[in-house]
Amino acid sequence: MRPPPHILVVNGIKVRRPVFVLGAPQSGADLLARALKRSPGFHVTIGRAAVAHVVYAFARRPSIMRRKGGGAVRVLRDALAEAWQIVPGACADCPVVCREAGAVSGGGPCASPGAVVRFGDANPDLLYSAPILLQAFPDARLVQVIRDGRDVAADMLADRSSMTWARPGLLSDETEFPNPFLGVNAGEHRDKWSRMDPAGKCALRWRSAVRLSAALRQEMPREQLLTIRYEDMAASPNETIASVSAFLEARVATVGLYGASAPRVGVWRSGLRPEQAALVEKIAKDELGRLGYL
In sequence order, the 6+-apart residues with CB closer than 8 A to the CB of 148 are 230, 231, 265, 266, 268, 288, 291, 293
Asked if pLDDT for residue 12 goes beyond 50, the answer is yes
pLDDT computed for residue 279 by the predictor: 97
Average pLDDT rounded to a whole number, residues 115-119: 89
Note the pLDDT tens digit of each residue in 95-116.
Answer: 778 777 777 665 566 777 778 8
pLDDT computed for residue 259 by the predictor: 63
pLDDT computed for residue 144 by the predictor: 96
Within a domain: 2: no
pLDDT computed for residue 105 by the predictor: 63
pLDDT computed for residue 206 by the predictor: 96
Note the pLDDT tens digit of each residue in 151-167.
Answer: 999 999 998 877 887 77
Indicate if 97 and 233 belong to the same structural domain: yes
Indicate if 121 and 187 belong to the same structural domain: no
Number of domains forming the structure of the chain: 2
Indicate if 94 and 14 belong to the same structural domain: yes
Indicate if 83 and 228 belong to the same structural domain: yes
Indicate if 180 and 273 belong to the same structural domain: yes
Average pLDDT, the chain: 87
Within a domain: 90: yes
Indicate if 269 and 164 belong to the same structural domain: yes
Within a domain: 137: yes
pLDDT computed for residue 169 by the predictor: 67
Domain range for residue 50? 9-147+222-262
Higher pLDDT, 13 or 258: 13
Within a domain: 16: yes
Average pLDDT rounded to a whole number, residues 158-177: 77
CB 285 within 8 A of CB 294: yes
Asked if pLDDT for residue 194 goes beyond 80, the answer is yes
pLDDT computed for residue 1 by the predictor: 41
Indicate if 107 and 250 belong to the same structural domain: yes
> Phi/psi of residue 184, each to 5°?
-105, 125
End-to-end CA distance of the chain: 50
Q: What percent of the chain has pLDDT over 70?
A: 93
Higher pLDDT, 269 or 61: 269
pLDDT computed for residue 95 by the predictor: 78
Question: How many angstroms separate the Cα of 132 from the Cα of each of 8, 55, 264, 285?
Answer: 15, 10, 32, 30
Within a domain: 274: yes
Within a domain: 20: yes
pLDDT band at residue 263 using 50, 70 and 90 as cut-offs: confident
Q: By mean pLDDT, which of 5-19, 50-64, 93-107, 206-220 is the weakest?
A: 93-107
CB 142 within 8 A of CB 133: yes
Indicate if 138 and 203 belong to the same structural domain: no
Indicate if 58 and 198 belong to the same structural domain: no
- Can you give the CATH number for the domain in which 242 is found? 3.40.50
Indicate if 58 and 191 belong to the same structural domain: no
pLDDT band at residue 6 using 50, 70 and 90 as cut-offs: low
Q: Are strands 13-14 and 9-10 parallel, antiparallel or unpaired?
A: antiparallel
Q: What percent of the chain has pLDDT over 90?
A: 53
Within a domain: 94: yes
Average pLDDT rounded to a whole number, residues 216-238: 93
Within a domain: 294: yes
How far is the C-alpha of 202 from the C-alpha of 8, rounded, in Å? 37
Note the pLDDT tens digit of each residue in 131-155.
Answer: 899 999 999 999 999 999 999 999 9
Taking the model in full, what pTM does it have? 0.91
Indicate if 242 and 168 belong to the same structural domain: no
Indicate if 141 and 241 belong to the same structural domain: yes
Higher pLDDT, 111 or 193: 193
